[in-house]
Amino acid sequence: MKLQFTLILFFLLLFSFTKAQDTIRIDDVHVLYRVVEDGDTMYLASLKEVFIFPQHNFKSKRDMRRYRRLIYNVKKAYPYAILASKTIKEIDENIGKLKTEKARKDYLKKMEKQLFDRYEDELKKLTITQGRILIKLIDRETGDTSYDLVKDFRGKFSAFLWQTIARLFGTDLKAEFDPQGEDRLINEIVILIENGQL
């Protein structure tokens, strides 16, 4: 009963406060708009989209720990997938502006050196599992497999070489992201991360 009374009181105070305003800001995110139609006043609020996934029922504590570990690994790999997507877009935009093939190659070498200098040590710290997740997330974010990206930027031989090395570690650069199949949990975790729910 106290909760209902408090809510009613809150809305009455809110409505009386907003009579002179068309927009009321509650904080940096929540905004109410006042619309008057045929003498009726309606208050509208913009709400952030919330995703709700089915609750996971784990058969054992081991399954629960495995899921929590997956969350940890996705949180480690996801920022690099976002970075890869932004970098690839930037490179594509800048390469289109260059006139000669030599200028394009020089630009790619310069960007590769900058990226290696900045991120090589961090990426070496990723586990094999995090690397596999990163390969999948790069496909999710860019729409191209890691193999295709290496082939586009470094050539077929380099892509073949890196694919061979990846295969030695049980990974596949040609792996595609399957949000409805085997990568369903990864996709759920990424969506929750993107919306600040995780």
Q: How is the chain split into domains, by residue range?
A: 2-45, 61-194
Per DSSP, 143 falls in state: S
130, 76 contact by CB (below 8 A) = yes
- Residue 16: CA atoms inside 13 Å, Cβ hemisphere, count? 5
Question: How far apart are the C-alpha atoms of 135 and 176, rounded to whole Å?
Answer: 8
What pLDDT, on the 0 to 100 scale, is given for residue 20? Answer: 45
Return the structure tokens found at 42. Answer: 């309606």
What pLDDT, on the 0 to 100 scale, is given for residue 185? Answer: 92
Kindly give, in sequence order, each residue whose CB lies less than 8 Å from that of residue 147, ignoring residues fewer than 6 positions away.
159, 162, 163, 173, 174
Sheet order of strands, 31-37 included: 23-25, 31-37, 40-45
pTM for the complete prediction?
Answer: 0.71
Per DSSP, 142 falls in state: H
**Environment class of residue 55 by beta-carbon count within 10 Å: exposed (0-12), middle (13-18) or buried (19+)?**
exposed
What pLDDT, on the 0 to 100 scale, is given for residue 149? Answer: 85
What pLDDT, on the 0 to 100 scale, is given for residue 103? Answer: 85
Kindly give, in sequence order, each residue whose CB lies less than 8 Å from that of residue 101, ignoring residues fewer than 6 positions away.
none
Q: pLDDT tens, position by position, for the chain (198 residues)?
A: 566 666 665 655 555 554 444 555 555 555 667 777 787 877 777 777 777 778 888 899 999 999 999 999 999 999 999 998 898 888 888 888 888 888 888 888 888 888 888 888 888 898 989 989 999 999 999 888 888 888 888 888 988 888 888 888 888 888 888 989 899 999 999 999 988 888
* The length of the chain, given as a count of residues: 198
